[in-house]
Amino acid sequence: DSRAVLGRRVSQNGPNNQVVAERLSTDHNVAVEEVRKEVVALHPDDSHIVVYNHGVWRIKGIIQVSRSIGDMYLKKPEFIQQFGLPIPLKRPVMTAEPSILSRKLKPQDLFLIFASDGLWEQLSDQVACEIVLKSPRVGIARRLVRAAVQEAAKKREMRYDDIKRIEKGVRRHFHDDITVIVIYLDHPLSSSNGRFKEDDFIDCTSAPVDIFSLNADEADD
């Protein structure tokens, strides 16, 4: 249930200070109706493949994601007893097969945000893209994480510093884990012979040495 979001200009010659968020992926989560239908269609002989319990849809009443790299006990029936789950499995109920989208890059495409659901539960696609557009590149992933944690604190009527002081295990009750990668798409101007010169690139930046930028929080302050 991670997500890929593209930030792009409104048009090729549009203003540099405006960005539009374009979602490139579908969350692999049975909370999404289309995903539920997909899972049900794959298991026509199992009327309880997706269960609605306490306001949440889950596969076999256990997990929300429909695809994952791990969760072997839901892919190999012989493992399920090791987890003490009294749910008989005739065949795997999850898969690690990815969904793949191919899309040609366009001149107005600016950057990509890859992030786990911990970010998207707090920030909309558009808000995340606006933060990336308006912020320095150095430490940008960290800034997105900070913005999400600030939003989680706001929902609980807490200060950012207060929620940061909560132990990690306990903090899971306040917000999900958050992983973020930002990739900038710098477009070269093609010459007539199809070759590129060093000065043909627009707005290009080498990866900063301090790409993890431990001082990114201070820069925001």
The pLDDT of residue 47 is above 90: no
Q: Let me know whether 19 and 39 are in one domain.
A: no
Q: Let me know whether 163 and 179 are in one domain.
A: yes
The pLDDT of residue 86 is above 70: no
The pLDDT of residue 41 is above 50: yes
Q: pTM score, two decimals? A: 0.75
Q: Let me know whether 79 and 153 are in one domain.
A: no
Q: Is residue 44 part of a domain?
A: yes
Higher pLDDT, 198 or 64: 64
Q: Is residue 207 part of a domain?
A: no
Q: Let me know whether 135 and 112 are in one domain.
A: yes
Q: Is residue 218 part of a domain?
A: no
pLDDT tens digits along 104-156: 999 899 999 999 988 999 999 999 999 999 999 999 999 999 999 888 888 87
3-state secondary structure 4-60: EEEEECCCCCCCCCCCEEEECCCCCECCCHHHHHHHHHHCCCCCCCEEEECCEEEEC
The pLDDT of residue 211 is above 60: no
Amino acid 71: pLDDT: 84
Q: Let me know whether 161 and 110 are in one domain.
A: yes
What's the domain range around 134? Answer: 3-25+101-184
Q: Is residue 95 part of a domain?
A: no
Amino acid 87: pLDDT: 67
Winning range, highest mean pLDDT, from 94-103, 163-172, 205-214: 94-103
The pLDDT of residue 30 is above 80: yes
Confidence of residue 170 (pLDDT cuts 50, 70, 90): low
Confidence of residue 57 (pLDDT cuts 50, 70, 90): very high
Domain count, the chain: 2
Q: Let me know whether 18 and 43 are in one domain.
A: no
Q: Let me know whether 39 and 20 are in one domain.
A: no
The pLDDT of residue 56 is above 80: yes
Q: How far apart are CA 211 and CA 217, in angstroms?
A: 13
Query: And the tokens for 207?
Result: 């990866």
Q: Let me know whether 39 and 145 are in one domain.
A: no
Q: Is residue 209 part of a domain?
A: no
Q: Let me know whether 138 and 52 are in one domain.
A: no
Q: Let me know whether 105 and 154 are in one domain.
A: yes
Q: Let me know whether 163 and 72 are in one domain.
A: no
Amino acid 186: pLDDT: 83
CB atoms < 10 A from the CB of 19, how many?
A: 23
Query: And the tokens for 194?
Result: 């199809």
Closest CA to 28 of 122, 97, 106, 92: 97
SS3 state at 54: coil
The pLDDT of residue 180 is above 90: yes
Q: Is residue 64 part of a domain?
A: yes
